[in-house]
Each structure stands twice: as structure tokens, then as C-alpha cells.
Amino acid sequence: MKIVIAGGTGFIGRHVSRLLIHEGHSVIVLSRHAPDGKNFDNIHVRHIQWDGCSQGTWAQECEGADVVINLSGAPIADSRWTEKRKQELIDSRVESNRTLLKAISSWKNKPHTFITASGIGIYGDRGGEVVDESSTPGEGFLPQLCQMWERSAMKAEAFGLRVIPLRIGMVLGSDGGALSKMTFPFRMFLGGPILPGTQFVSWIHHEDLSRLILFLITHASIRGPVNAVAPDPATMKDFCHALGNAMKRPSWFPVPEFVLKFALGELAAMLTTGQRTQPQKALGAGFPFTYSTAQSALHSIFSQTST
Ligand SMILES: NC(=O)c1ccc[n+]([C@@H]2O[C@H](COP(=O)([O-])OP(=O)(O)OC[C@H]3O[C@@H](n4cnc5c(N)ncnc54)[C@H](OP(=O)(O)O)[C@@H]3O)[C@@H](O)[C@H]2O)c1
């Protein structure tokens, strides 16, 4: 299959591209930057430049794609959520979906599937409640952002495409995402849970996420939102304990909520609250998770890297 991945230069996109190429598919990555040879060493990805908000020659070059995946988006947790930043977070997601859909609408040969990233942040702060794809959205900025993100993608149904908003949990890998930031204090023997510690962390190993995306591409009966999380979410306390174990470091130093609120403002809520998310659709369709517990996922990651 010919598969286009917008924002495919990022942490998730690099892993997904590798798997798709390995499985014999042809991959085009859309990026706002010219190729620098660093993102895709030794794998045959075609890299095409776009700006994420206007049509161009990229659109003609992507025509004939069987699947379009949008992973674009300004990083959610990199800076304080000022009003300006919130708008950037929204625009980079909604606008890139809108731009892709505009191109697709003009293609004679349309893809059969459109997958957009979304997040389990859509469920908001749910305490210990178990949530799945049938749960209602929560309240606050992240749920609003995710709903706008998903709505902008669902418009592709009007062209007859199968649309899957992928509600991704915390993706675990050594080369990007939240884990690479969490490991620093652990490396310094200063690691510990973000308090209260009882909030749930719904996570997925990057290998399972890439395999789930391939599974969704090839299982035509699945449509609509899909939770991309492992079936065994952990509390923050247990997750950090497992992280310390995998890194052979203690999990001693809890991070108080007020410190995060002072440092990060509204963004702190993303870390001090959580969702106990179930991958109901993936399990129902028989997707086999390789890494079902945080311990197994973290051990696999840190057994391949030097702490
Ligand atoms: N990683 C996770 O744990 C996680 C969890 C839930 C949801 N997600 C979502 O999944 C998607 C992919 O995640 P990721 O971890 O791979 O993110 P990432 O490493 O930050 O990659 C995202 C890509 O989006 C593009 N991008 C960055 N800023 C942009 C902007 N202002 N406008 C348009 N495009 C922009 C970049 O591509 P170019 O610079 O090449 O254009 C970048 O490579 C994101 O939308 C993210 O919010 C990720």
C-alpha cells in the first residue's frame, strides 16, 4: 500500500514508518522541513515538504495513497498553556487535518482510510473510573482540543473514507515522548512519582502502537475512535516504581502538585490527573498486545539502553 504520514518525522512517525517499510509498504512522509537525513537513516521513506496549511505540489505527489495518517501537532507539554500556545496546539492539529482533507477531496483516487492522532486526554480527569471508547469526553482544555481534532478528521467520512481518531496514551520508547523526559531525575537518583500518585497513567509501548496502526489499516471493519493504550494502566506510583526497577534506580522523591502547578500552570493538570483507559476496540478485534504490563514494557526498553 501507499501510505502518507503527515508529521511522520516525529517520535511516533519514525517508528510507524519503519514498521510499514519493513512490511513492504511504500511510505511518504510530509514534513514542514527539507530532509536532513537524520530522521530516517537507512530506511526508504519518501520525504516531501508541505507547510501544513496550504495546497501545493505535495498534494499531487500524494494522490493515489491508500491510507493517510496525520501525526502533526505542536508538542502539547513543551511549554505553558498561554492563550497563544493553546491556539497553536489547536491550529497545528485542526488545520493540518483540514489541509489534508482539502487535498483528498480533489483526488480522483481517494484513500480508503484516514487515521488522525488524538489523545486519551479527551476523557479529562476521571480519577479511578474505567473509560473506553464509548465514554463521554471530559472537561477542560485537553478534552476540547481533542474533540476539535477528531471532529476535523471525521469530516473525511463525507468522502467515503473510513476514519479512525487514534486516542493515544503515553507512548513508551527511549528515543522520544514523555518517558525520555521522566528518566532524567531517575538517572540522577532523584526520581519519584508526581503526586498524588493515585492518578492513572495509560501507556503503550511504541512497538505495540506501530503494530496497532498496521492492524487498524488492515482491519476494515474498525472505524471511529480507537484507544491506543495497553490493557493494564498503572497508577503513577506503580508506574514510577516500575520505571525505577527497570532503570535500576530508586523511586524515592515524590513531586508535589503545587511545585508542578507553579512551574507549569494549567499544563500541570495533565500530569497530576489521569485516565484509567481500556483499549476496548483493539481487544474486541483481537489485537495481540506484546507489552501488557508497564513492567514488561519498561524492562524491554531499558534492557536495550544504558541507564
Ligand atoms: N507521544 C505521545 O505519547 C503522544 C500521546 C498522545 C498523543 N500524541 C499525539 O500524536 C502525534 C504524534 O506524536 P509524536 O510523539 O510523534 O510527536 P512529535 O515527535 O512532536 O512529532 C509531531 C510532528 O508534528 C510536526 N509538527 C510539530 N509542530 C508542528 C506545528 N506547529 N504545525 C504542524 N506540524 C507540526 C512535526 O513534523 P515536521 O516538523 O517534520 O513538520 C513533528 O515531527 C501528535 O499530534 C501528538 O500530540 C502523542
Q: Residue 304's pLDDT is what?
A: 80
Q: 121 CB less than 6 Å from ligand 1? A: no
How many whole angstroms separate alpha carbon 237 and alpha carbon 193? 5
Report yes or no on 177 lying in a domain: no
pLDDT per residue over 169-187, tens digit each?
Answer: 999 999 999 998 889 899 8
* Protein residue with least CA distance to atom 9, ligand 1: 117
pLDDT band at 16 (very low <50, low <70, confident <90, very high): very high
For residue 171, give the 3-state DSSP assignment: strand
Q: 92 CB less than 6 Å from ligand 1? A: yes
Number of Cβ atoms within 10 Å of the Cβ of 218: 12
Q: 7 CB less than 6 Å from ligand 1? A: yes
Testing ligand 1's pocket by substitution, the residue of 11, 14, 227 carrying the most ligand atoms inside 8 A of its CB is: 11
What total number of domains does the chain contain? 1
pLDDT above 70 covers a percentage of the chain that reads 99
Q: 243 CB less than 6 Å from ligand 1? A: no
Number of Cβ atoms within 10 Å of the Cβ of 107: 16
CATH of the domain at 209: 3.40.50.720
Question: How big is the chain, counted in residues?
Answer: 307
Report yes or no on 242 lying in a domain: no
Report yes or no on 292 lying in a domain: no
Report yes or no on 246 lying in a domain: no
- Return the ligand 1 atom nearest residue 121 CA: 6
Report yes or no on 119 lying in a domain: yes
114 contacts 161 by C-beta, under 8 angstroms: yes
pLDDT above 90 covers a percentage of the chain that reads 84
* Protein residue with least CA distance to atom 47, ligand 1: 73
Number of Cβ atoms within 10 Å of the Cβ of 286: 8
> Which residue type does 299 have?
H
164 contacts 225 by C-beta, under 8 angstroms: yes
Please state, rounded to an integer, the average pLDDT across all residues of the chain: 95
How many whole angstroms separate alpha carbon 270 and alpha carbon 261? 10
pLDDT per residue over 153-174, tens digit each?
Answer: 999 999 999 999 999 999 999 9
Distances in whole angstroms, Cα of residue 238 to Cα of each of 10, 190, 191, 260, 294: 28, 16, 13, 20, 9
- Return the ligand 1 atom nearest residue 72 CA: 24
More confident residue, 35 or 129: 129
* Protein residue with least CA distance to atom 27, ligand 1: 74
Q: Residue 13's pLDDT is what?
A: 97
* Protein residue with least CA distance to atom 33, ligand 1: 92
**Cis preceding linkage at 256, omega within 30:** no
Domain that holds residue 33: 2-171+202-230
As given in the structure block, the three cell numbers for residue 61 are 505527489
255 contacts 194 by C-beta, under 8 angstroms: yes
Report yes or no on 245 lying in a domain: no
Select from 56, 67, 71, 54 the least CA-distant residue to 27.
67
Q: Residue 181's pLDDT is what?
A: 84
pLDDT band at 307 (very low <50, low <70, confident <90, very high): low
* Protein residue with least CA distance to atom 43, ligand 1: 10
Q: Which residue has the cell 510530509?
A: 30
41 contacts 14 by C-beta, under 8 angstroms: no
Q: 135 CB less than 6 Å from ligand 1? A: no
CA of 106 to the centre of ligand 1 (A): 26
Q: 13 CB less than 6 Å from ligand 1? A: yes
Q: 73 CB less than 6 Å from ligand 1? A: yes
How many whole angstroms separate alpha carbon 30 and alpha carbon 99? 12
Q: 179 CB less than 6 Å from ligand 1? A: no
Q: 33 CB less than 6 Å from ligand 1? A: yes
Residue 204 pLDDT > 90? yes
How many whole angstroms separate alpha carbon 22 and alpha carbon 45? 11
Task: Tell me whether strands 200-201 and 67-70 are parallel, antiparallel or unpaired.
Answer: unpaired
Testing ligand 1's pocket by substitution, the residue of 71, 166, 180 carrying the most ligand atoms inside 8 A of its CB is: 71
Residue 53 makes CB contacts below 8 A (sequence gap 6+) with: 95, 96, 99
For residue 8, give the 3-state DSSP assignment: coil
Q: 5 CB less than 6 Å from ligand 1? A: no
Q: 75 CB less than 6 Å from ligand 1? A: yes
Report yes or no on 293 lying in a domain: no
Report yes or no on 275 lying in a domain: no
How many whole angstroms separate alpha carbon 251 and alpha carbon 267? 23
pLDDT per residue over 235-290, tens digit each?
Answer: 999 999 999 999 999 998 999 888 878 878 888 888 999 999 999 999 999 999 99
Q: 74 CB less than 6 Å from ligand 1? A: yes
